[in-house]
Amino acid sequence: MTTGALAGQAASSTVERLLDAAAGAFADRGFHATTTRDIASRAGLSPAGVYVHFDSKEAVLYALSRRGHEAALDLVRGSATGPGTPTERVARVMSGFATWHAEHYEVARVVQYEFPHLQPEHRDEVLTLRKDIDEAVRELLEEGVASGEFEVTDVRETALALMSLCIDVARWYSPGVRRTPDRIGPTYASLGLRLLGARA
Amino acid sequence: MTTGALAGQAASSTVERLLDAAAGAFADRGFHATTTRDIASRAGLSPAGVYVHFDSKEAVLYALSRRGHEAALDLVRGSATGPGTPTERVARVMSGFATWHAEHYEVARVVQYEFPHLQPEHRDEVLTLRKDIDEAVRELLEEGVASGEFEVTDVRETALALMSLCIDVARWYSPGVRRTPDRIGPTYASLGLRLLGARA
DNA sequence: GTCTATACCTTGATAGAC
DNA sequence: GTCTATCAAGGTATAGAC
């Protein structure tokens, strides 16, 4: 299911199993507390088996983080530039992005919290994806301000606030918590519209 | 200055220096990536020097996390139950809490992100402080709803959203970033009032 | 492509002198 | 209370057989 979160590849090649295993382990205990033995055993391999497919533990993190960011960018961009009024699109962005952080909370945690542990060059690569996400949101807000649907004093601050709401879902969500992914969508769409001074 | 963030003790006893050192190291690289040697050398001690004052690396994390949570609780409770209308008090809570996450972003990161790495008993202890913070905010929102100042459909969800906005500051803030702590306060007060449908 | 075995290093923590 | 020296455990990564 993590696989689905990332791209929708043919499931359970060994690489896919390793990435799923790493997502679970990194989300559970963090990058540095996770051992290559953890990853290997979760994927049903011996400790050495990891190194056939990845050069290092950090290479696993990079692959996972990159895919996660790409999935997030696709999701946000798709909703932000799709059909409908800016109001409708913001609602879709907030609903989809918040829900994604819950449904795929393992990958989402890796994306949000393990980012600082990437090697500098890998961090730079991923950073451009992050900037693309922010930009997609800012552009959508500009549209809504131009059309008169949104009442926003500072687009940059407001875009960050919208993202903060969704991103923080990855911190508090886990299966078994009171809130469910399908209720999170409408809630966060509504919160977003409030921040924009828009009528639902 | 981290010291000031925590309680306002007489500065630079060895324990204080160790906690400051640990805050910097944990915030920079995370609990597990930080070595006891890192902490010791930042505090100007030999590797063994740490163990005169703390039983283990986790004990350092616990002391730091506990103090940080206590400072956060004092801040929120003080603003939430102080003088003024619910609207004024929410503005003060948001301004103060968001600013705290920037000004003391090292301790704040430890509070928000290293919490899962506490031992179970220590996690439970700290969890009660977290619940107290949430409850203080929820009670304030109930007051504002009762007085007719806030227009909120779900107090629980809205309280979480307010906290999410402030907490996420610790993720993106660092010195040198565009936004400054003194501008963050008014911005987040205003965002909070919007979420509550209140007039500034 | 996977395994077993292992090299090499860093880590958390302790012992014992001062 | 701080140091130097050190240990035991566990970490990443590799070698070489199958």
What is the secondary structure of A144-193 as a DSSP string?
HHHTTS---S-HHHHHHHHHHHHHTHHHH--TTSSS-HHHHHHHHHHHHH
pTM: 0.95
Q: What is the 3-state secondary structure (H, E, C) of B146-190?
A: HCCCCCCCCHHHHHHHHHHHHHCHHHHCCCCCCCCHHHHHHHHHH
Name the DSSP class of B147: T
Identify the pLDDT of residue B6: 59
Check pLDDT > 70 for residue A8.
no
Nucleotides of D under 7 A from a protein CB: 1-6, 10-16
Check pLDDT > 60 for residue B113.
yes
CA-to-C1' span, A46 to C6 (A): 14
Between positions 88 and 147 of A, the ones with CB within 8 A of B are: 112-113, 116-117
Identify the pLDDT of residue B11: 57
How many CA atoms within 13 Å lie on the side-chain side of A89?
23
Q: Could B165 and A167 be called an inter-chain contact, meaning their C-beta atoms sit closer than 8 Å?
A: no
Instruction: Dig out the tokens for B9 from the structure.
Output: 């003790």
Identify the pLDDT of residue B140: 98
Confidence of residue B2 (pLDDT cuts 50, 70, 90): very low
Residue A124, burial from CB neighbour count under 10 angstroms (0-12, 13-18, 19+): exposed
Looking at the complex, does the CB of residue A33 fall below 8 Å from at least one CB of chain B? yes
Nearest to B189 by CA among B117, B98, B107: B98
Nearest 5 degrees, angle CA B144-CA B160-CA A93?
Answer: 115
Identify the pLDDT of residue B3: 45
Percent of the residues in chain A that have a pLDDT greater than 70, as a whole number: 94
CA-to-C1' span, B55 to C15 (A): 16
Q: Rounded to an integer, what is the distance from CA B54 to the centroid of its chain?
A: 23
Residue nearest to nucleotide C5 (CA to C1'): A48
Structure-token match 């301790």, residue found: B107
Chain B residues close to A159, C-beta within 8 Å: none
Arithmetic mean of pLDDT, A16-40: 98
What's the mean per-residue pLDDT of chain A? 95
Phi-psi region of B179 (alpha: psi -120 to 50; beta: other; left: phi over 0): beta
Write phi, then psi, for B173 (nearest 5 degrees): -75, 140
Task: Report the alpha-carbon distance of residue A165 to residue A146 in Å, rounded.
Answer: 24
Residues with CB under 7 A from strand C: A 14, 40, 44-49, 52-53; B 34-37, 47-48, 51, 55-58
* Structure confidence by residue, pLDDT tens digits, B142-196: 999 999 999 999 999 999 999 999 999 999 999 999 999 999 999 999 999 999 9
Check pLDDT > 60 for residue A5.
no
Task: Report the alpha-carbon distance of residue B182 to residue B95 in Å, rounded.
Answer: 9
Nearest to B97 by CA among B29, B31, B173: B173
Residue nearest to nucleotide C2 (CA to C1'): A49
* Structure confidence by residue, pLDDT tens digits, A152-174: 999 999 999 999 999 999 999 99
Identify the pLDDT of residue A12: 84
Arithmetic mean of pLDDT, A69-97: 98
* Structure confidence by residue, pLDDT tens digits, B58-91: 999 999 999 999 999 999 999 999 999 999 999 9
Confidence of residue A199 (pLDDT cuts 50, 70, 90): confident
Task: Report the alpha-carbon distance of residue A42 to residue A44 in Å, rounded.
Answer: 5
What's the mean per-residue pLDDT of chain B? 95
Task: Report the alpha-carbon distance of residue A43 to residue A45 in Å, rounded.
Answer: 6
Chain B residues close to A154, C-beta within 8 Å: 187
B121 CB neighbour count, 10 Å cutoff: 8
Q: Could B168 and A168 be called an inter-chain contact, meaning their C-beta atoms sit closer than 8 Å?
A: yes
B46 touches strand D (CB under 7 A): yes
Task: Report the alpha-carbon distance of residue B162 to residue B165 in Å, rounded.
Answer: 5
Are A129 and A69 a contacting pair, CB within 8 Å?
A: yes
Looking at the partner chain, which of A30, A154, A167 has a beta carbon nearest the beta carbon of B168? A167
* Structure confidence by residue, pLDDT tens digits, A98-156: 999 999 999 999 999 999 999 999 999 999 999 999 999 999 999 999 999 999 999 99
